[in-house]
């Protein structure tokens, strides 16, 4: 959308804060920024005050104003590269308008996104990527008027198709043949997007998709389309291998995140900045259910603001001790939830030092509120119960006055009849029934017990009576509202002379405790499920070094049963070299408690070696003694094989690499490059480098390199010849490289990959020479065939005058016309660059003209219309099409218009749904119903049927207002 700038000439309060696009105002003379809006601050990461900044900090490219115009429209500079405060580059469209602002002549730039894409990510990764995909690229040029696509031979090579020169095909045919169906719509949308730009402005469109090669391989391609005027240039890179590696990395990260997010609690990584402060670098999504806040907020604000004030000093002291003494952090504390409630949290983590020297804690926090409250409640209840039980034994009146303070149902019952003598008021609060029901209703207590627990509870009371000793047991009771309440009943027997006389007890409500226990059991089941079903090898090792737990995936990869593994040492399953490495790393692991991405080789039961990455975390008891470890093992066997294959491929591809130092004008060469150039030095100077360039190309090469260094580009491709100093042999060189520049665009260093393509060039020259010879021979053959056919046609024509019978004359005239059609085909093959393909539109037009001349009737004016797609077809296919058209059009002129003085014949050759359609339609009297292929006895119809069979097509006739013959074939 274009932006119109309105305002007075000297508007010093230009309102731009609410505009939805970045807007910057800067001086025309020195480029100092005077004002920018909120969107510009967000996009470029600008500070609050930008007056210390210059426009060059945002945009290195200087935009030259066009000649002054009376138009009030903003000047459109098109897409320009901009730079953020983080060094990332984005593409923004610039609309500029002069303005008088704060007493100075200024520019106001309105910036519009054209697909903000990062031009440079990490330079080291781009360097490695460019080196690995060298040679795996191709291009295609699309004519936006005819939609014919000219595909380079390099792109065809990516698609497993060998051609010697670019090929022109309809773009729809190319896309349907090679683009994976899942991405076809997206690619078409990208083409529409590029075409919707301004015709006189360049527009860049980027995308990525899968292609299917001629051999059925699926490759992943990154593509850039450059649209300008009536053409579009597409540059395609095969990034299949990096995409697979990235996919594996993403899958591993997703696997860890899924594992972390399914753990009931928060897994975290915490960086210690000093002894009292730090920052969460990672927090799993379990923090949302644990603390009621998102992972992003935890990383941004931490947890100090929700920790209970009484517990915060203890946490900070623990952090301080861990920072100075490298101790693990473990404690329980309270947090204040967003709704104001309190929750108990248990946290534990182990410290380790990053490679950059920073200290971090990696640990886990989970909710222990239920257990903590249950413990506190149990302690309090047990204390009160003991005090009250002692009071009951000594003084009955005091017992009855104090039972109301106990958080449980205190009761007394006859030891022989189980009739309740006393029940505390808490019974009404816990169960909802009045106390009087306990005394007045027979078997009230037993009838309120859950049916599944009733017999057990009654038997325990009887057991206490018969054995004259105290018991406590747990069972469920049903409240007045129908809820289940778990109670713990502590029963004491009062006896005299060895005979039970009274049962005294207290029923404690332990429902919360039971719920907590059930949650813990569910948590343990979920952990076991995750442990065994996660597609990563995991095992646990006890303090004695023996395996105590292994995951199902570990057993699957190692081909053992669990009985064959548990109780054995993990080193028993390693190679000898890995056993020795494990012994060396063990002391450091016990000291630090962490091992990350160590390479070990395991041996399966069948003897297969697995290359793995091992990461382990140790657990310690309260005294700091090592108790066990938890280990994750990742199989990287296939990854290592891929690395070796890439190394061998690099050697086999005849690639040399050098590092360029522009400050010292030197080139550091690897062994392969020295072999290609025939030099012995490890480092080349500029003079020695130019000495080996072929004299015929030296001057042009110097000019190309000079222009390249003066430009702002970072990538280059070049081809040239050299003369080796060792044997004076001429070599054809292809090079591709990457430059690294400073902020002013001056080149600092670079890396270049050199490929010796001498063998290919020599082979190509031989092939071209052979092709030229074959083309000459084939053209001579076509010329002679054409002349011979024309001679036969002439002989038949001369013979026609000697025959008086009309049927013989018609037969010979038809035969002569067929011979002329084939002669026209060879004439067209002789005139075109293609040796075995002909433009069907040009061919059929010529055939139709010859028919009109040969079968001219003075009493009939035939208007022949044509709708013929200009595509190239093989000569044999074109021959059958010409013979079919010759037969059908001739028959129409002869028989379709017996009583008319004018008629119309339409010949069509189109493409529909992946097939070719050849149609001959007239508006004559129509074909009789009995005339049909293979059934009418007509010689002409029999010929047409044979020709259609040779094409492998389908033949149909539509009768109505005239006749429409349709042949469809692929």
pLDDT of residue 114: 54
| Per-position DSSP letters for 89-112, written without gaps between them | EEEEEEEEEEEEETTEEEEEEEEE
Structure tokens, 652: 């086999």
Q: Is residue 928 part of a domain?
A: yes
> To which residue do tokens 């108790």 refer?
627
Q: 114-118, 262-266, 456-460: which has the minimum mean pLDDT?
A: 114-118
Look at the chain and report how many structural domains it folds into: 7
Give the integer Cα–Cα distance in Å for 263 and 259: 7
Q: In terms of Cα–Cα distance, which of 889, 796, 902, 909 is closest to 847?
A: 889
pLDDT of residue 212: 93
- Please classify residue 546 by burial: count the beta carbons closer than 10 Å to its beta carbon, then call 0-12 exposed, 13-18 middle and 19+ buried: middle
> To which residue do tokens 């058209």 refer?
885
Cβ(714)–Cβ(750) below 8 Å: no
Q: Are residues 785 and 906 in the same domain?
A: yes
Q: Are residues 947 and 823 in the same domain?
A: yes
Q: Is residue 199 part of a domain?
A: yes
Give the integer Cα–Cα distance in Å for 680 and 674: 6
More confident residue, 546 or 499: 546
Give the integer Cα–Cα distance in Å for 348 and 332: 9
Q: Could you tell me whether strands 231-238 and 218-228 are parallel, antiparallel, or unpaired per DSSP bridges?
A: antiparallel
pLDDT, the chain, mean: 79
* Total Cβ atoms within 10 A of residue 665: 12
Q: 471-475, 770-774, 784-788: which has the minimum mean pLDDT?
A: 784-788
Cβ(85)–Cβ(46) below 8 Å: yes
The whole-number average pLDDT for the span 583-610 is 86
Give the integer Cα–Cα distance in Å for 734 and 757: 7
Structure tokens, 915: 């097939």
pLDDT of residue 350: 82
More confident residue, 74 or 570: 570
Give the integer Cα–Cα distance in Å for 433 and 410: 15
Domain boundary among 339, 367, 395: 367
Q: Is residue 820 part of a domain?
A: yes
From its phi and psi, is residue 574 left (phi > 0), alpha (psi between -120 and 50) or beta? beta
- For residue 741, pLDDT over 50 is answered with yes
pLDDT of residue 894: 83
SS3 (DSSP) at 488 = strand
Q: To 5 degrees, how large is the angle CA 129–CA 637–CA 130?
A: 5
Q: In terms of Cα–Cα distance, which of 298, 81, 115 is closest to 196?
A: 115
pLDDT of residue 922: 93
Q: Are residues 632 and 595 in the same domain?
A: yes
pLDDT of residue 967: 93
* Residues present in the chain in total: 970
> pLDDT tens, 238-264?
888 776 766 766 676 667 677 667 778
Q: Is residue 287 part of a domain?
A: yes
Cβ(352)–Cβ(592) below 8 Å: yes
- For residue 21, pLDDT over 80 is answered with yes
Give the integer Cα–Cα distance in Å for 232 and 731: 35
Q: Is residue 28 part of a domain?
A: yes
Structure tokens, 546: 């023996």
Element (H, E) at 192: helix 181-195
The whole-number average pLDDT for the span 416-431 is 84
The whole-number average pLDDT for the span 957-970 is 89
Question: What Rg value do the Cα atoms of the chain yield, rounded?
Answer: 45
> If you average pLDDT over each of 173-182, 628-637, 730-739, which comes out highest?
173-182
pLDDT of residue 573: 92
Q: 252-256, 632-636, 822-826: which has the minimum mean pLDDT?
A: 822-826
pLDDT of residue 119: 37
- For residue 769, pLDDT over 70 is answered with no
The whole-number average pLDDT for the span 651-675 is 77
The whole-number average pLDDT for the span 954-968 is 89
Q: Is residue 14 part of a domain?
A: no
Cβ(612)–Cβ(601) below 8 Å: yes
CA dihedral 250, 255, 261, 266 (to 10 degrees): -90
pLDDT of residue 202: 81
The whole-number average pLDDT for the span 39-63 is 79
Structure tokens, 162: 């060998």
Q: Are residues 284 and 342 in the same domain?
A: yes
Domain boundary among 304, 337, 367: 367
Q: Are residues 180 and 283 in the same domain?
A: no
More confident residue, 309 or 818: 309
| Per-position DSSP letters for 612-656, written without gaps between them | EEEEEEEEE-TTS-EEEEEEEEEE-HHHHHHHHHHHHHHHHTTEE
- For residue 323, pLDDT over 80 is answered with no
Q: Are residues 342 and 421 in the same domain?
A: no
pLDDT of residue 798: 53
Give the integer Cα–Cα distance in Å for 568 and 168: 67
Confidence grade of residue 7 (pLDDT, cut at 50, 70, 90):
very low
CATH of the domain at 320: 3.30.450.20
- DSSP letter at 179 equals B
pLDDT of residue 652: 55
- Please classify residue 346 by burial: count the beta carbons closer than 10 Å to its beta carbon, then call 0-12 exposed, 13-18 middle and 19+ buried: middle
- DSSP letter at 64 equals P
- For residue 197, pLDDT over 90 is answered with no
The whole-number average pLDDT for the span 199-228 is 88
Contacts of 626 (CB under 8 A, 6+ apart): 543, 590, 593, 618, 619, 620
Q: Are residues 821 and 929 in the same domain?
A: yes
- For residue 583, pLDDT over 70 is answered with yes
Element (H, E) at 705: helix 695-710
More confident residue, 948 or 1: 948
Confidence grade of residue 376 (pLDDT, cut at 50, 70, 90):
confident
- For residue 829, pLDDT over 70 is answered with no
**Strand ranges across the sheet with 730-741:** 683-685, 666-669, 655-661, 747-756, 730-741, 715-723
* Backbone phi, psi, residue 919, to 5°: -130, 135
* Total Cβ atoms within 10 A of residue 517: 15
Domain boundary among 367, 396, 421: 367
Q: Are residues 400 and 436 in the same domain?
A: yes
Q: Is residue 257 part of a domain?
A: no
Q: 50-59, 130-139, 500-509, 652-661: which has the minimum mean pLDDT?
A: 130-139
* Total Cβ atoms within 10 A of residue 912: 8
Percent of the chain with pLDDT over 70: 80
pLDDT of residue 209: 92
- For residue 133, pLDDT over 50 is answered with no
- For residue 909, pLDDT over 90 is answered with yes
Q: 352-356, 618-622, 653-657, 771-775: which has the minimum mean pLDDT?
A: 771-775
The whole-number average pLDDT for the span 362-370 is 86
Cβ(603)–Cβ(590) below 8 Å: no
- For residue 132, pLDDT over 50 is answered with no
The whole-number average pLDDT for the span 82-98 is 85
> To which residue do tokens 């040796």 refer?
835
pLDDT of residue 588: 83
pLDDT of residue 121: 38
Q: Are residues 379 and 284 in the same domain?
A: no
- For residue 134, pLDDT over 70 is answered with no
Q: Is residue 125 part of a domain?
A: no
Q: Are residues 776 and 908 in the same domain?
A: yes
Q: Are residues 544 and 685 in the same domain?
A: no
Confidence grade of residue 122 (pLDDT, cut at 50, 70, 90):
very low
3-state secondary structure 808-826: HHHHHHHHHHHHHHHHHHH
pLDDT of residue 705: 84
Residue 197, domain extent: 137-238
Q: Could you tell me whether strands 266-272 and 655-661 are parallel, antiparallel, or unpaired per DSSP bridges?
A: unpaired
Structure tokens, 64: 């030259």
* Backbone phi, psi, residue 225, to 5°: -110, 130
> pLDDT tens, 510-550?
888 888 777 777 766 766 666 766 677 888 888 888 998 88
> pLDDT tens, 794-819?
555 555 656 665 666 666 666 666 67
Q: 82-96, 110-124, 663-677: which has the minimum mean pLDDT?
A: 110-124
The whole-number average pLDDT for the span 783-787 is 53
Q: 60-69, 143-152, 376-385: which has the minimum mean pLDDT?
A: 60-69
Q: Are residues 276 and 394 in the same domain?
A: no
pLDDT of residue 118: 35
């Amino acid at each position: 959308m274009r932006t119109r700038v309105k305002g007075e000439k000297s508007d010093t309060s230009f309102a731009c804060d609410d505009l939805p696009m970045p807007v910057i105002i800067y001086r025309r003379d020195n480029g100092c920024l005077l004002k920018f809006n909120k969107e510009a601050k967000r996009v470029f990461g600008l500070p609050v005050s930008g007056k210390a900044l210059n426009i060059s900090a945002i945009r290195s490219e200087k935009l030259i104003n066009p000649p002054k115009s009376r138009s009030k429209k903003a000047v459109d500079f098109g897409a320009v590269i901009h730079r953020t405060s983080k060094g990332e580059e984005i593409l923004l469209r610039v609309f500029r308008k002069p303005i008088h602002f704060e007493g100075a002549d200024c520019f106001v730039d309105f910036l519009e996104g054209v697909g903000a894409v990062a031009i440079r990510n990490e330079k080291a990764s781009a360097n490695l990527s460019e080196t690995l995909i060298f040679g795996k690229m191709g291009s295609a040029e699309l004519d936006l008027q005819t939609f014919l696509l000219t595909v380079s031979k390099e792109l065809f090579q990516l698609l497993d198709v060998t051609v010697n020169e670019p090929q022109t095909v309809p773009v729809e045919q190319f896309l349907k043949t090679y683009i994976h169906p899942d991405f076809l719509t997206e690619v078409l949308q990208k083409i529409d997007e590029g075409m919707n730009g301004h015709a006189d402005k360049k527009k860049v469109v980027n995308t990525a998709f899968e292609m299917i090669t001629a051999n059925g391989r699926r490759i992943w391609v990154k593509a850039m389309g450059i649209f300008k005027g009536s053409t579009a240039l597409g540059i395609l890179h095969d990034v299949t291998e990096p995409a697979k590696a990235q996919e594996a990395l993403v899958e591993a990260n997703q696997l860890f995140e899924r594992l972390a997010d399914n753990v009931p609690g928060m897994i975290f990584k915490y960086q210690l900045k000093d002894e009292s402060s730090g920052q969460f670098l990672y927090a799993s999504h379990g923090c949302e259910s644990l603390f009621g806040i998102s992972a992003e907020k935890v990383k941004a604000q931490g947890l100090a603001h929700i920790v209970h004030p009484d517990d915060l000093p203890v946490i900070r002291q623990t952090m301080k001790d861990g920072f100075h003494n490298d101790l693990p952090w473990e404690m329980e504390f309270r947090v204040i939830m967003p709704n104001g409630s309190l929750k108990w949290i248990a946290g534990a983590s182990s410290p380790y030092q990053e490679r950059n020297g920073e200290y971090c804690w990696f640990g886990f926090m989970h909710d222990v509120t239920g257990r903590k409250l249950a413990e506190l409640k149990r302690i309090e209840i047990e204390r009160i119960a003991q005090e009250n039980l002692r009071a009951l034994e000594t003084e009955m009146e005091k017992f009855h006055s104090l039972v109301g303070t106990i958080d449980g149902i205190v009761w007394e019952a006859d030891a022989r009849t189980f009739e309740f003598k006393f029940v505390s008021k808490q019974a009404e609060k816990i169960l909802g029934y009045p106390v009087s029901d306990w005394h007045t209703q027979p078997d009230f207590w037993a009838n309120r017990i859950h049916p599944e627990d009733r017999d057990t509870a009654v038997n325990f009371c009887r057991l206490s009576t018969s054995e004259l000793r105290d018991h406590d047991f747990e069972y469920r009771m049903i409240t007045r509202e129908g809820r289940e309440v778990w109670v713990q009943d502590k029963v004491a027997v009062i006896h005299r002379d060895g005979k039970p006389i009274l049962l005294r007890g207290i029923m404690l409500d332990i429902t919360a405790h039971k719920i907590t226990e059930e949650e813990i059991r569910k948590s343990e089941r979920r952990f076991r499920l995750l442990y065994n079903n996660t597609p990563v090898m995991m095992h646990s090792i006890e303090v004695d070094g023996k395996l105590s737990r292994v995951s199902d995936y570990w057993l699957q990869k190692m081909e053992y049963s669990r009985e064959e593994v548990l109780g054995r040492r993990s080193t028993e399953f390693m190679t000898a070299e890995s056993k020795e490495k494990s012994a060396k790393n063990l002391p450091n692991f016990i000291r630090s408690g962490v091992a990350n991405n160590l390479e070990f080789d395991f041996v399966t039961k069948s003897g297969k070696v697995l290359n793995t990455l091992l990461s382990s975390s140790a657990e310690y008891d309260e005294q700091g003694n090592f108790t066990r470890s938890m280990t994750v093992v990742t199989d990287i066997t296939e990854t290592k094989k891929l690395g070796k294959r890439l190394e061998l491929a690099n050697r086999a591809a005849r690639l040399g690499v050098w590092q360029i130092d522009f400050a010292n004008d030197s080139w550091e060469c690897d062994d392969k490059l020295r072999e290609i150039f025939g030099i012995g030095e490890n480092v080349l100077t500029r003079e020695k480098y130019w000495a080996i360039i072929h004299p015929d190309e030296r001057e042009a090469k110097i000019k190309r390199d000079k222009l390249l260094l003066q430009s702002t580009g970072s990538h280059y491709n070049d081809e040239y010849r050299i003369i080796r100093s060792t044997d004076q042999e001429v070599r054809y060189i292809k090079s591709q490289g990457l430059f690294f520049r400073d902020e002013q665009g001056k080149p600092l260093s670079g890396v270049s990959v050199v490929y010796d393509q001498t063998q290919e060039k020599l082979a190509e020259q031989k092939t071209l020479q052979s092709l030229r010879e074959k083309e000459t021979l084939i053209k001579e053959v076509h010329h002679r065939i054409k002349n011979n056919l024309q001679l036969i046609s002439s002989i038949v024509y001369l013979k026609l005058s000697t025959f008086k019978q009309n049927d013989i004359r018609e037969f010979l005239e038809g035969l002569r016309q067929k011979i002329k059609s084939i002669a026209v085909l060879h004439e067209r093959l002789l005139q075109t660059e293609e040796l075995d393909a002909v433009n069907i539109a040009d061919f059929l037009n010529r055939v139709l003209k010859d028919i009109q001349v040969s079968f001219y009737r003075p009493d009939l004016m035939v208007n022949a219309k044509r709708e013929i797609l200009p595509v190239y077809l093989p000569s044999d296919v074109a021959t059958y099409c010409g013979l079919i058209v010759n037969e059908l059009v001739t028959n129409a002129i002869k028989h379709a218009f017996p009583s008319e003085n004018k008629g119309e014949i339409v010949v069509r050759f189109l493409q529909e749904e992946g097939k070719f359609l050849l149609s001959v339609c007239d508006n004559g009297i129509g074909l009789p119903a009995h005339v049909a292929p293979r059934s009418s006895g007509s010689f002409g119809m029999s010929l047409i049927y044979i020709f259609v069979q040779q094409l492998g097509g389908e033949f149909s006739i539509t009768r109505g207002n005239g006749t429409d013959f349709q042949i469809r074939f692929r």
